[in-house]
Amino acid sequence: MFITFEGIDGCGKSTQARLLFELLNKEGGAVLTREPGGWEGGGTLRDIVLSGDLRHPWSELFLFMLDRTEHAARVIGPAISEGRHVVCERYHDSTLAYQVWGRGMPFEPLRDMAKLAALPEPDVTLFFKIKPALALSRVGKRGKPDSFEREGLAFMEKIDRGYRSLAEMEPRRWAVIECGDRNPAEIFAQVKDVLAERGLPL
Ligand SMILES: Nc1ncnc2c1ncn2[C@@H]1O[C@H](COP(=O)(O)OP(=O)(O)O)[C@@H](O)[C@H]1O
Ligand SMILES: Cc1cn([C@H]2C[C@H](O)[C@@H](COP(=O)(O)OP(=O)(O)O)O2)c(=O)[nH]c1=O
């Protein structure tokens, strides 16, 4: 099963992805990865795209798409072919939430890029829904913010609206996980329930 984890910076994606990976990988049957940079050589690209030094407004998009095509070709595609579960923090829906709702780029062309590039489609996308102010307070505590985290609350509220809209468009693929101030274990219990309902008993 190809499962993507989505949500604003600081919503708890990485924490939950690690918990699911540890559960699924007991017999080595899973891969834990992320975007940007979840492939060999992707770290440099991650640094460039998160630096905030890009000049042309489309450069950021093209870098995230380059990262994703290589990530799909080198990591996601092969894992799926081998019959392994893929637990992926951020994927194409991050491009839609951040570059469309966040940066104001056009929705249809960016949405259609995934099909044009024949990118693997997730089986389930988990949206970790949280108040942007609470998520940002966590980001503030974990060290130097990246260029997106430096955009502040109003930007993150746009991203949150984007995720809510995307989840409403495809309710069969998306599952909304209410985070609030629930602890990681409570949230993970809901993650397991959602995946069991979607055919992955845990
Ligand atoms: N349910 C939770 N309650 C409180 N703090 C959390 C929770 N989940 C994660 N955190 C903390 O919030 C910060 C961001 O979590 P992380 O999983 O890195 O989020 P993301 O990957 O979405 O940015 C980390 O310091 C993490 O320890
Ligand atoms: C994958 C992707 C990420 N991003 C942004 C979201 C994040 O702010 C940043 C990725 O950094 P990341 O380390 O994933 O942030 P966090 O763990 O706090 O969620 O890049 C995009 O704007 N578009 C994309 O397609």
CATH number at residue 132: 3.40.50.300
CA 139–ligand 1 middle distance (angstroms): 8
Contact between 197 and 124 under an 8 Å Cβ cutoff? The reply is no
The residue range of the domain holding 165 is 2-197
- Is 156 contained in some domain? yes
Q: What is the CA radius of gyration of the chain?
A: 16
Q: Is the CB of 125 under 6 A from ligand 2?
A: no
Does 36 sit behind a cis peptide bond, omega within 30 degrees of 0 on the bond before it?
yes
Domain count of the fold of the chain: 1
Q: State the residue for tokens 């407004």.
A: 57
pLDDT tens, the chain, 202 aa long: 999 999 999 999 999 999 999 999 998 899 999 999 999 999 999 999 999 999 998 999 999 999 999 999 999 999 999 999 999 999 999 999 999 999 999 999 999 999 999 999 999 999 999 999 999 999 888 788 888 888 999 999 999 999 999 999 999 999 999 998 899 999 999 999 999 999 997 8
Ligand 1 pocket: which of 138, 146, 191 to mutate (most atoms within 8 A of CB): 138
- Is 202 contained in some domain? no
CA 35–ligand 2 middle distance (angstroms): 7
Integer Cα distance of 199 and 48 in angstroms? 38
Could you tell me which of 2, 12, 30, 37 has the C-alpha nearest to residue 185? 12
Helices 13-24, 184-197: crossing angle, 10 deg rounding: 60
- Is 97 contained in some domain? yes
